[in-house]
Structure 1
């Protein structure tokens, strides 16, 4: 029996789930599956954070959002992501928290939290190879335990979906090889009461097990999550023969998550948005179950800033609360505040690296509206006062390689700096103009004088050198001779 009355909206679910038998009970025992804690879960306006000192403590921090007396708790290994990914969607469907454990022993803190939750049923996600019999025995001292596992991540996912979903008209299909796409789908799946079904996305055909599951659920529409590199074109094509198929896949994990949330959450429809690292899975898994439970979108992010597609999607969504999953090392305060990552181009340098010449910084492609600052460097060291887009080269730059650092700024985004490659070492030109009426620069001291009949060059120390008004200055005699000048006889 459930611990409390459930709302009418869940009555059909309770009735349907009550017909399912448990794997740990005797063959003729029938016990209802859990429907989850029904107490309201709210989040403070602005940014809040659910985190602990490690993945297990973070999952505990998430679980504390649930009231004591839940109908169920899901437990999965924290050492790998597939079982917990499947469990997150199932837990979201049943309104249950998800906690993580090492495979071999149940941490005392996790046991204490499960005891506080006081569940009617504990579901273990995965086989004994993932969560040991010793952990199962420890859990059984708290509440009845039901293990949902198979010989592979896909069989475990199948068992979890069948237990949590008596029926579904819509399903998400995601790769089980990586975690971000399925993780991002969990919030949308929770909002639409749909399962997230993992497949080996590298296969060219839909596995028979997945086809049977979709048929058993009564699915009519499928959302394929990720591009063809995540879930093959062959699988999508086979699905399209039977189901109404939509593929949501971007250029990467961040874009895919934004596409999912843009498709399933209208502006103003979500009370909260969850933000998790897209680089690692542990902190996000328990949070995904809570996101699904509260019908909230899940976004993945870089640690220091939110990738541009997700940044814009979060702005569009306009959720009053943002919940960061994990510590500041994985989701920084800037990321939690939806400070975007600027799309930053790689700067290049045009012009000739030669004294008296000039170099110009070309910024590349950046987020529209970005403003720029420049810092030129010689052999990697900043040049004092060289902060314009163009740098005029002098003898001080000769023999040095020049680069430029472009810094982009835009309101709402984290400032970004990108360094260009280096030029060749700055060289001297063979000839140049005088610095005034009488003098040539020190690096091109040979004076070239254009007379009425011929062109003559004068070397420093020559008899008429100081009295000559040069029209041109040369670095070497060879350069002067190449320009049609002859050497002065005196």
Structure 2
């Protein structure tokens, strides 16, 4: 709410999320405390019925993800018929119902002024005895809005006038007594028109409405004491009639919920003994596809049965504890004692629902991502492409030795080496010359190294002939010799840098000698090479003819990883993208994909390095993953392009490649025991599920930032725009699939 808003909805009653921490005394409950499970329940209430209606309206706005309403309905807070008769209009117009009297009129006007869009419409339900002239005049003072009063000679005629305003009434009609609120309140979230009737029977205008609309089903709410058998007989002349009733209002409410919401995963409870708190809840239930269950502190069994039968984990309570106590809420939702905390709105429950849904392995997402991977695979073996050339949809011309190809190869091998090794071998066969040199290898370009990692993997897979193995080993020696030519900086450890070869700049951003991308490009290759030397499957000679030792490679690699963690870690817990050795400064920007590149390299080192480095590397990995967890967006479950700035810079959005990379690191880290806490597993599951559910759209993997150089200007990190089906996101997603399963 904007500053200066004169009324204040008390936040712990606007929405109190009842998180569960302390057990009730067993004797006080019919269910043992140890059987109870944690639930999240929102209590939506204000200091009085009028402010409760504001609180409900706020929750509706949050659900609709809007600050402004096109329509608002105003009804009397001291009687129920007009508000309940207006529930169908509320659903059709998506207009919250606000309660009003002369004392609350100023607060209502201010709320509407703050919430309604220009040229919005305000509907008053009922005559001047319900909403006074004075209150209407105050509403008419709201600028750029129209005000209409819908009323009749009595509550039944007002009900008909409201239904007339609705236009089409559909093919179902609900019929309820006009002298009691309980049954119509229970049905107020159904999104169906309600005809209020008197005990003496239908009048001519009601019969006219019935004859003009031809309803397929007319449902009477309540027993014959509420809607008489005489009226039931009259209604039968206009269509099929059924009756939903129980022994009392709570059971009737239960039967209405079962009929119209048989599979709800959310439920709203309201007090059966009084109407004000529940009066405006119909639209809230409608937008959440949830029933309104009437309960009391003495009769809540039917509400509890509904919640139990539907396995409902989340819900809302309308009104304060004087209407429905916390103890009753615990009985209904089978939860432990409650700790009321302040929150910003019922949307927190929806977020929690989504969080729980995304915190599991989802079979439909495995099917979806498998279909997408197969599409990528098929597009790379099409007849109109040269055998062995990978194609990336956003740049079909890039049939060359690229780091993006290298990441894709790693993804395919990790995902299913038996299925995809043929495709990968075709690629290498097209690029490895007879002397072991590599076609299209960019001389001095560190990015070219990662693509050779798959050569090592194929050598170790036993899928090559003896002649092929020897040729591939020659290619490994070629790439290692290229690496040796990179400039070394002793301050950073005896390791290869990203931006120079023999002192000659090879990148536009020559100031930043070390960048996170380059570490992954070289270190994954070095790690696999060191492991292969240890196993005796590969032997490499340096440029001077000396045999390269695995121990030396590990020393260089782990020193580089240490240097980065000691010199490039930001206060936000994630890494700066670049480092200038001469000036001993970072570039000051935490680029998401850069952190993803480095995290994957660190994961490889932590899993495979010698014992003398193992504790340090694994500690670094956990430290970085702790920082990563802090920046996972709590709505999308993804990570932003500039990871620690979110919406603070232009075009900074949750980005697919960093999200896929970090999800992979979290999932693999958990599955391999590097990250023993379940929190890492859950974060990885959420990230992967969000990628598959929300980022694979109509067969395309969307929202990957194309490329970025190292810069100290944070605004340069989105200038190249976002593309679909980009190899960096595809490759990382492929890597994650195995560990998602």
TM-score, length basis structure 1: 0.56
Match of 2:312 in 1: 319
Structure 1 window deviating more from structure 2 (104-113 vs 277-286): it is 104-113
Match of 1:473 in 2: none
Match of 2:137 in 1: 137
Instruction: Indicate conservation of the 8 Å contact 2:42/2:317, yes or no.
Output: yes
Instruction: Indicate conservation of the 8 Å contact 2:211/2:238, yes or no.
Output: no
Instruction: Indicate conservation of the 8 Å contact 1:274/1:324, yes or no.
Output: yes
Instruction: Indicate conservation of the 8 Å contact 1:71/1:96, yes or no.
Output: yes
Give the C-alpha shift of residue 338 in structure 1. 4.0
Instruction: Indicate conservation of the 8 Å contact 1:305/1:340, yes or no.
Output: no
Instruction: Indicate conservation of the 8 Å contact 1:254/1:307, yes or no.
Output: yes
The 1:108–1:75 alpha-carbon spacing in structure 2 relative to 1, beyond 3 Å, is same
Match of 2:74 in 1: 75
Q: Which 5+ residue runs of structure 1 have no aligned equivalent?
A: 1-42, 342-490
Match of 2:269 in 1: 275
The 1:294–1:92 alpha-carbon spacing in structure 2 relative to 1, beyond 3 Å, is farther
Instruction: Indicate conservation of the 8 Å contact 1:92/1:291, yes or no.
Output: no
Match of 1:86 in 2: 85
The 1:90–1:320 alpha-carbon spacing in structure 2 relative to 1, beyond 3 Å, is farther
Instruction: Indicate conservation of the 8 Å contact 1:47/1:322, yes or no.
Output: yes
SS of the residue corresponding to residue 315 of structure 2 reads strand
The 1:293–1:94 alpha-carbon spacing in structure 2 relative to 1, beyond 3 Å, is farther
**1:284 and 2:278 correspond:** yes
The 1:117–1:214 alpha-carbon spacing in structure 2 relative to 1, beyond 3 Å, is farther
Instruction: Indicate conservation of the 8 Å contact 1:221/1:245, yes or no.
Output: yes
Match of 1:4 in 2: none
Q: 2: CA distance between counterparts of 1:169 and 1:157? A: 18
Q: 1: CA distance between counterparts of 2:253 and 2:173? A: 16
SS of the residue corresponding to residue 214 of structure 1 reads helix
Q: 2: CA distance between counterparts of 1:225 and 1:165? A: 23
> Of 221, 227, 231, which residue of structure 1 is paired with 2:223?
227
The 1:244–1:338 alpha-carbon spacing in structure 2 relative to 1, beyond 3 Å, is farther
Q: 1: CA distance between counterparts of 2:79 and 2:262? A: 33
The superposition leaves residues 398-448 of structure 1 with CA deviations (integer Å, 9 ceiling, x where unpaired) of: xxxxxxxxxxxxxxxxxxxxxxxxxxxxxxxxxxxxxxxxxxxxxxxxxxx
> Of 151, 168, 171, which residue of structure 1 is paired with 2:170?
168
Q: 1: CA distance between counterparts of 2:94 and 2:169? A: 16
Q: 1: CA distance between counterparts of 2:324 and 2:187? A: 19
Q: 1: CA distance between counterparts of 2:209 and 2:146? A: 26
More strand by share: 1
> Of 173, 194, 197, which residue of structure 2 is paired with 1:196?
194
The superposition leaves residues 141-191 of structure 1 with CA deviations (integer Å, 9 ceiling, x where unpaired) of: 22210110111111111111121242310010000101010000112x22x
Q: 1: CA distance between counterparts of 2:47 and 2:288? A: 25
Instruction: Indicate conservation of the 8 Å contact 2:90/2:96, yes or no.
Output: yes
Q: 1: CA distance between counterparts of 2:289 and 2:332? A: 24
**1:185 and 2:219 correspond:** no
Instruction: Indicate conservation of the 8 Å contact 2:214/2:239, yes or no.
Output: no
Instruction: Indicate conservation of the 8 Å contact 1:85/1:182, yes or no.
Output: yes
The 1:327–1:124 alpha-carbon spacing in structure 2 relative to 1, beyond 3 Å, is same
| Number of aligned positions between the proteins | 289
> Of 289, 292, 306, which residue of structure 2 is paired with 1:298?
292
Give the C-alpha shift of residue 224 in structure 1. 0.2
- Give matches, 1:315-464, under 5 Å: 315-339=308-332
Q: 2: CA distance between counterparts of 1:340 and 1:232? A: 35
More helix by share: 2
Give the C-alpha shift of residue 286 in structure 1. 1.1
The 1:105–1:333 alpha-carbon spacing in structure 2 relative to 1, beyond 3 Å, is closer
Instruction: Indicate conservation of the 8 Å contact 1:105/1:135, yes or no.
Output: no
Instruction: Indicate conservation of the 8 Å contact 1:323/1:336, yes or no.
Output: no
Give the C-alpha shift of residue 106 in structure 1. 4.6
Match of 1:216 in 2: 212
Give the C-alpha shift of residue 52 in structure 1. 0.6
Q: 2: CA distance between counterparts of 1:139 and 1:282? A: 22
The superposition leaves residues 347-370 of structure 1 with CA deviations (integer Å, 9 ceiling, x where unpaired) of: xxxxxxxxxxxxxxxxxxxxxxxx
Give the C-alpha shift of residue 323 in structure 1. 0.7
Match of 1:449 in 2: none
The 1:244–1:57 alpha-carbon spacing in structure 2 relative to 1, beyond 3 Å, is same
SS of the residue corresponding to residue 322 of structure 2 reads coil
Match of 1:114 in 2: 112
Give the C-alpha shift of residue 247 in structure 1. 0.1
